[in-house]
C-alpha cells in the first residue's frame, strides 16, 4: 500500500482523474491511497490567507510558510511517520521513470502543490526532501504534476495493466518504445493502402523482438541521443545493438 498526502489549494482537481481509466483500479483497490489536505483549512483569519507579497518587491504572490507547516503537522499526526516531502517546481530535478519506479516501490510521500510565484524558501529548506519538475516549461501550479506522478505510480501497481505491459514501456530499459500497429493489416486511405510491417505478421517471435529492438534503438538515436549515450555508458547495448546503430549512422556520429 502506498499513501500520498496531497497538500493543495485545489483538492477538487483530483477526484475526476482518480475515478477514470485503468489507474482507477489502483485507487479503488486502495493499492494507492490518496488523502487530500486543503491548504485553506490551515490558514488564519477571516480571509484564510495562504499567500503574501514577496519581500524585496516583484510580481506575484508567495505562499506563506505557516499554513504549509500546519498542514504538514496534520499529515504527520495522522500518518504517524515522516515520509518524503515532494515539492513540484520548475526549478526541481526532472521526473524520470526510475524515480517513478522507486516511488511505486515505497510507502508514499507528501506531495506539496505550490501555486503562484513560489513558496517561502524557509519552509522548503526546513521540510522538503525532493524538488521535482516535469520539464522545462512553467505551469500555474503543482496540481497537474502531482496528478502526473499519481498516474505514473498507479499504473505500475500489480493488476492495473495486463501482466508484463510496463516492462516494455519507454524508458523502463532506458530506450524509447518501438511503434505499435493493429488491424487492419492494410489500412486503405485516399493516399493509398498502408501495410503493417510484414515481420509483425510473421509469427516469428525472435525476429519480431529483434525488429522491435532495432526500431527502439533508431527512434531513440533520432529523438534522444542522450539516452543512447547513457545506455552505452551503462553497458546496456550489445554488439547487435551497435550494428543497428552503425547502420542508422554509418559515419559513427552516434
Ligand atoms: N510548477 C510549475 N511548473 C512546474 C513544472 N514544470 N514542473 C513541476 N512543477 C511545476
User: What global pTM score does this model have?
Assistant: 0.92
Query: From atom 10 of ligand 1, which residue's Cα is the shortest distance away?
Result: 89
What number does the ligand 1 atom closest to the CA of 132 have? 8
SS3 of residue 14 by DSSP: coil
How far apart (Å, rounded) are the C-alpha atoms in residues 254 and 230?
12
List pLDDT tens digits, range 79-100: 998 899 999 999 999 999 999 9
Q: Cα 209 to chain center, whole Å?
A: 27
Q: How confident is the model at residue 77 (pLDDT cuts 50, 70, 90)?
A: very high
List of residues 6+ apart from 68 with CB closer than 8 A: 7, 39, 42, 112, 119, 120, 123, 127
The C-alpha cell at 244 is 543497428
Q: Separation of 92 CA from ligand 1 center, angstroms? A: 8
Residues marked active site are found at 90, 117, 155, 169
Beta-strand (E) ranges in 27-123? 32-38, 51-52, 62-63, 84-94, 108-112
The DSSP 8-state label assigned to residue 95 in this structure reads P
In order of their start, the domains of the chain are: 2-154 (3.40.1280.10), 170-248 (1.10.1270.20)
SS3 of residue 11 by DSSP: helix
Q: Separation of 112 CA from ligand 1 center, angstroms? A: 12
Query: 28-37, 66-75, 166-175: which has the minimum mean pLDDT?
Result: 166-175
Query: From atom 1 of ligand 1, which residue's Cα is the shortest distance away?
Result: 89
The backbone torsions φ and ψ at residue 131, rounded to the nearest 5 degrees and listed phi first, read -110, 125
List pLDDT tens digits, range 235-246: 999 999 999 999
Q: Is the CB of 237 under 6 A from ligand 1?
A: no
Q: Establish how many alpha carbons lie within 13 A of residue 167's alpha carbon, considering only the half-sphere containing its beta carbon.
A: 4
Q: Is the CB of 142 under 6 A from ligand 1?
A: yes
The backbone torsions φ and ψ at residue 227, rounded to the nearest 5 degrees and listed phi first, read -75, -35
The backbone torsions φ and ψ at residue 239, rounded to the nearest 5 degrees and listed phi first, read -60, -40
Top mutation candidate among 13, 134, 137 for ligand 1, by most atoms within 8 Å of CB: 134
For 134-150, b where at least 16 C-beta lie within 10 A, e where not — what string?
beeeebebbbebbbbbb
Top mutation candidate among 139, 146, 150 for ligand 1, by most atoms within 8 Å of CB: 139
What number does the ligand 1 atom closest to the CA of 140 have? 2
Amino acid at each position: 500500500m502506498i499513501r500520498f498526502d496531497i497538500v493543495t489549494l485545489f483538492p477538487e482537481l483530483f477526484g475526476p482523474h482518480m475515478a477514470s481509466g485503468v489507474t482507477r483500479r489502483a485507487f479503488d483497490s486502495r493499492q494507492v491511497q490518496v488523502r487530500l489536505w486543503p491548504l485553506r483549512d490551515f490558514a488564519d483569519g477571516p480571509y484564510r490567507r495562504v499567500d503574501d507579497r514577496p519581500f524585496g518587491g516583484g510580481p506575484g504572490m508567495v505562499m506563506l510558510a505557516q499554513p504549509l507547516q500546519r498542514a504538514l503537522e496534520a499529515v504527520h499526526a495522522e500518518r504517524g511517520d515522516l515520509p518524503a516531502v515532494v515539492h513540484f517546481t520548475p526549478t526541481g530535478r526532472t521526473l524520470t521513470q526510475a524515480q517513478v519506479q522507486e516511488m511505486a516501490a515505497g510507502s508514499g510521500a507528501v506531495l506539496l502543490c505550490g501555486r503562484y510565484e513560489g513558496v517561502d524558501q524557509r519552509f522548503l529548506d526546513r521540510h522538503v526532501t525532493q524538488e521535482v519538475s516535469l520539464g522545462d516549461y512553467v505551469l500555474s501550479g503543482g496540481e497537474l504534476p502531482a496528478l502526473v506522478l499519481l498516474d505514473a505510480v498507479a499504473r505500475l501497481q500489480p493488476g492495473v495493466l495486463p501482466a508484463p505491459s510496463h516492462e516494455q514501456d519507454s524508458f523502463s530499459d532506458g530506450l524509447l518504445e518501438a511503434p505499435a500497429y493493429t488491424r487492419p493489416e492494410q489500412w486503405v486511405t485516399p493516399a493509398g493502402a498502408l501495410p503493417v510491417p510484414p515481420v509483425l505478421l510473421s509469427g516469428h517471435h525472435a525476429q519480431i523482438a529483434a525488429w522491435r529492438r532495432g526500431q527502439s534503438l533508431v527512434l531513440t538515436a533520432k529523438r534522444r541521443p542522450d539516452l543512447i549515450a547513457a545506455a552505452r555508458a551503462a553497458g546496456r547495448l550489445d554488439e547487435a545493438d551497435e550494428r543497428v546503430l552503425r547502420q542508422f549512422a554509418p559515419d559513427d556520429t552516434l
